[in-house]
Copies of this chain bind each other. A is one copy, B any other.
């Protein structure tokens, strides 16, 4: 690459699939990436751009000349092109759009008008639609003669003259019908059209729930404007699940393996700062009992156990609840039953660990009273952990806040505070 041996570079990368080419680009240094793409010229497969990590992609799109990017965009389907453009700064985006032919420019601008993470952004606008009165033969001839068809399509849509969606015909259905049959007669009307404004999470849920392999996208007037296919949904599901996992751990979702040290530090700092505030709150609770601890240091030794068990039990319940909310397995219908069950589970595990810890404490410190106190505190904290684990996500969800981001802080704050307060408070009452 450094020797600018174009022929060599081309022969090495020529046969790579877009996914592999993207990985190669990620491993290179920033300058080398531009170099590689420039050297490849027209042999560069633009599809690789949409496979890149967000950080690398934005860097590349910002440094590559607008003509090169515009050229790449024209070779892509609209959904991939929109995906590349959506995170760019306004001016960069416009510079690239200006290089495109008028029609492509309009299509992309239209798609970019839909809200982020909406169906309108992930749909492909290249669809084939025919009127219901055509025959199978006419339709097939139309497809044979058209030049500007999508790369791959598995169904065609049936629309009225105003482009209102009537139904769909799977290609296999079309193939198996005689040429003289009317499209109308083989149209499947059992469609689940998606509104262009719907959130991509809802789209994914729809696909999963109804095992769809594709779904038409319509505007408010039920006019066909695009199609979403299951392979796009695979990426959405992956992305959304990733986001939830990282959010639960307090990591912002656009962290990648190729981010800078300073960027990563900043992202993590915010969450750790929130955690510091809650930790100080818990410490304040401890400080209320400093006289008690002074008289019996064993309390300081044992108190983290109660808090930590509560934190873990609360996190278990909370994680299940957050996922169930995300997949709509938990809602108002069954909320009360689930709250009851979590309380019961907390009570049962509280009893089990109360017995265990009472025994451990007795054998460690040789004191029955300390064992009874830690047992009682354990029961209280595990029941509270179960309740907090379910009520916090439910409450945040009702308030319209994403429970994946914020539940963790609240739940562990509750279990820490209650854990320390119950254990030290009982000790202060009983022992002194």
| Residues on A facing B (Cβ under 8 Å) | 17-19, 27, 47, 51, 53, 140, 143-144, 149, 152-154, 170-172, 174-178, 204, 207-213, 229-231, 233-235, 237-238, 241-242, 244-246, 248-251, 255-257, 261-262, 264-265, 268-269, 271-272, 275-276, 279-280, 282-283, 286-287, 290, 293-294, 297-298, 300-305, 307-309, 312-313, 315-316, 318-320, 323-324, 327, 329-330, 333-334, 338, 341, 344-345, 348-349, 352-353, 356-357, 360, 416
Q: Is the CB of A172 within 8 A of B144?
A: no
Given contacts A171-B172, A349-B268, contact A237 B230 (CB under 8 A): no
Given contacts A27-B333, A233-B234, contact A305 B276 (CB under 8 A): yes
List the B side residues contacting A264 at CB < 8 Å: 341, 345
Q: What are 21 pairs between A and B in contact, CB < 8 Å?
A: A18-B210, A19-B210, A144-B176, A154-B154, A154-B170, A208-B235, A212-B231, A213-B230, A230-B230, A237-B237, A238-B327, A245-B319, A246-B323, A256-B329, A261-B345, A272-B316, A275-B312, A286-B304, A293-B300, A297-B300, A300-B303
Q: Is the CB of A249 within 8 A of B248?
A: yes
Of A204, A208, A244, A312, chain B has the most CB atoms within 10 Å of the CB of A312
Given contacts A154-B172, A230-B230, A249-B248, contact A305 B319 (CB under 8 A): no
Given contacts A272-B309, A301-B283, contact A178 B144 (CB under 8 A): yes
Task: Name the contact of A231 in the complex, choosing from B211, B241, B256, B265 (C-beta under 8 A).
Answer: B211
List the B side residues contacting A290 at CB < 8 Å: 297-298, 300-301
Q: Is the CB of A153 within 8 A of B172?
A: yes
List the B side residues contacting A279 at CB < 8 Å: 304-305, 308-309
List the B side residues contacting A283 at CB < 8 Å: 301-302, 304-305
Q: Is the CB of B204 within 8 A of A234?
A: yes
Q: Is the CB of A140 within 8 A of B255?
A: no
Q: Is the CB of A242 within 8 A of B323?
A: yes
Inter-chain CA distance A293–B279, complex, in Å, is 19
Known contacts A171-B175, A245-B319, A279-B308, then 8 further A-B pairs from the complex at CB < 8 Å, ordered by chain A residue: A18-B211, A213-B231, A233-B234, A241-B245, A250-B312, A251-B319, A268-B349, A304-B416
Closest chain B residue to A255 by CB distance?
A: B320
Inter-chain CA distance A17–B206, complex, in Å, is 12
Q: Is the CB of B175 within 8 A of A140?
A: yes
Inter-chain CA distance A308–B174, complex, in Å, is 63
CB distance from A149 to the nearest CB of B (A): 7
Given contacts A208-B234, A231-B211, contact A251 B316 (CB under 8 A): yes
Question: Which 8 A-B pairs have CB atoms at the shortest separation, nearest pair first?
Answer: A241-B241, A249-B319, A230-B230, A300-B300, A154-B154, A171-B171, A19-B209, A230-B231
List the B side residues contacting A309 at CB < 8 Å: 272, 275-276, 279
